[in-house]
Amino acid sequence: MARNIIMIIIGAVIAAYGLETILIPNDVVDGGVTGVSIMGAEVFGLPLGVLLFTLNLPFIYLGYKQVGKTFAILSSIGIVALSGSTFFMHRFHAILGPEDPLLIVLAGGIFLGVGIGIVLRNGGALDGAEILAVLLSRKIPFSVGDVILFLNAFIFIGAGFIYGLENALYSAITYYIAKNMIDIIQVGLEKSKSVRVVSAQSPKIGSAIQDRLGRGVTYTKGRGGFSNESTDILNCVINRMEETKLLSIIKEFDEGAFVVITDVSEVRGGNFKKRDIH
């Protein structure tokens, strides 16, 4: 628990640094509650830290009711750390100017994504929009991602009125980069892929995968639609760093093997263990 708290604070500081030294000085906003807070600070002249804390309070309560006490506590720590860091870093000078829009978008998205990703990876959250999206998705026929995209569309439209269309587009691109960085930080090199191999050499390929990669394999019976011949279909799950090695193993035994590789959103059991952070 102590390690999670330390990492959440570090993540919040990183996110605050990206906001105060890159994005906010150049009129670029984030999505979610953070974006609303930035625009509110601009319009009403209130401190950003106060709005970040105040606007996220209802979502902390929702997180407590829907996810649990630990999540609410860790999220509270993260939001307080983010709010306090923006207070402290508000005096810092911008490290990038408006003449570098590409660097602003890239650097801002990376700092924000890394910070939020670290917080999420350790069981907390810095923004209440995700919690709201989960609740709404249960009542309407849309996914959580669809709801978040819908909510942020209004935020970026609002940013267009306050900062101009160009900066609103920069904000949307920054948000896209940040979301991808969050995925990388949360999943990292452990992102899994499901592999299906159809080959007459499936048993040999499977043995090599087990020996060289240490991954378990499963065989299912199949029958060719054209040849009408029975064959063993090999199934296994690897991480993305093992893909090249796996393909070389398959090619070694059967260059003409039919291979299908797909991304996997979650894996439990076996050689893959899900970290319980709540």
Residue type, 60: I
Query: Higher-confidence residue: 230 or 133?
Result: 230
Buried b (16+ CB within 10 A) or exposed e, 133-149: bbebbeeeeeebeebbe
The answer to whether 89 touches 95, Cβ cutoff 8 Å, is: no
128-166: pLDDT as tens digits: 886 776 667 667 776 555 677 788 888 888 888 888 888
| pLDDT at residue number 189 | 52
* 277: CB partners within 8 A, 6+ apart: 4, 121, 122, 123
Which range among 37-41, 122-126, 172-176, 182-186 shows the weakest confidence by mean pLDDT?
Answer: 182-186
Q: Distances in Å between the alpha carbon of 19 and those of 28, 40, 125, 167, 179? A: 9, 14, 16, 15, 15
Report the chain's mean pLDDT, rounded to a whole number. Answer: 84
SS3 label, residue 31 = coil
240-261: pLDDT as tens digits: 778 888 999 999 999 999 999 9
In this structure, the number of other CB atoms found within 10 A of the CB of residue 273 comes to 10
Structure token digits, residue 185: 């930080």
34-79: pLDDT as tens digits: 889 989 988 888 888 899 889 988 888 887 887 678 888 888 999 9
Q: Where are the alpha helices (DSSP H) in the chain?
A: 2-18, 32-44, 48-66, 69-89, 101-121, 129-137, 144-163, 165-187, 202-212, 243-253
**pTM of this prediction?**
0.71
Mean pLDDT of 268-273: 60
| pLDDT at residue number 271 | 55
Locus of tokens 């000085």: 25
